[in-house]
Structure formats: structure tokens, C-alpha cells
Amino acid sequence: MRHLLRIASIAALIVSSACANASATKTIASTRACTPSVPAPTMLYPMNGATNVPAGNFTLVLAFSYGTNLELTAQGIATPVSGIHPNAAVPNPLPTPAATPEPGATPYGYGIPALAAHTTYTVAAHFMPVDPGCTASSVTLGTFTTK
């Protein structure tokens, strides 16, 4: 009988430990950032690092085959640029300088409003949670500087 009690006590300890570990795993998973299962979109126009880009009223083109939310921020300014329009028509041909898309990539356009001249902007894509165990995340796609 004493032997059975000892086995039951050990079993209870194992179950308790497993539940505690599952709870810790759940906490870690709920705070991990979501990342796409494919590479982040490439900036086609303007290409990453481009200078002398028009100060707005152009179509920023990304190469990707899945949806993202786009954010444009100016260097030294915390507020993102507002008035970006998704689903803008992609110019054909792309203005220069443009990057070469990866094979099979689908170009996607964002209408960019008026921007400040002589300013460096950072383009970031936001990925929404794809499963209940992660939070939204952002990936910087590149930068460009206006004329």
C-alpha cells in the first residue's frame, strides 16, 4: 500500500509539473511575434536605398504574393505618414530606379501622398497574427530619400 501511495504521489508531481510547463509554454507562445512563412516583400519602386524619389504622389510598388499592411515613417518623426492608398495601379513599366522582382512575385501598388522634400522615409510591412499563439510583427522593407 505504501508503495502505491508513493507511485500516486510521484504521478501527481509529474502531472503538476507538466501543467506548469504547459502554462509557461502558452505564455511564451502568446507573446511571440508572428512572422510570415515566406520572405518579406521586396521594394520594387522605389528600390531600397533610392535617392531623388519624387516627394509624393507616386505609386510605391512591392513584390509579394500575400497581404500586408504598409507603414511609411519619416526619419526623426514618430507619426507614420497618413493617406497611403492600398490597391493602387502598378505602373508599367516601373519608374527607375527599380529592383528586379523575384520569379513568381506579384507586384502590388500603394498610392503615396505628398511627402516632405529631402527626407528619408522607412517602409515597414506589418504582419497580422496568423494563429492564436502570436502577436502582430513588423519588418522593415527599406528606405528611400525624396528630392
As given in the structure block, the three cell numbers for residue 22 are: 504547459
Rg, the chain, Cα only: 24
pLDDT of residue 142: 94
pLDDT of residue 12: 41
The whole-number mean pLDDT for each consecutive block of 10 residues of the chain, a chain of 147 residues, reads 40 40 43 62 94 93 74 85 90 91 87 94 79 73 95
pTM for the predicted model, two decimal places: 0.70
As given in the structure block, the three cell numbers for residue 41 are: 516583400
pLDDT of residue 126: 75
In the chain, where do the E strands start and end?
A: 32-33, 42-45, 50-53, 58-63, 69-74, 85-88, 107-112, 120-127, 134-135, 137-146
pLDDT of residue 11: 39
Q: Nearest Cα to 84, choosing from 76, 73, 93, 99?
A: 73
Q: Are 109 and 88 in contact (CB under 8 A)?
A: yes
pLDDT of residue 57: 92
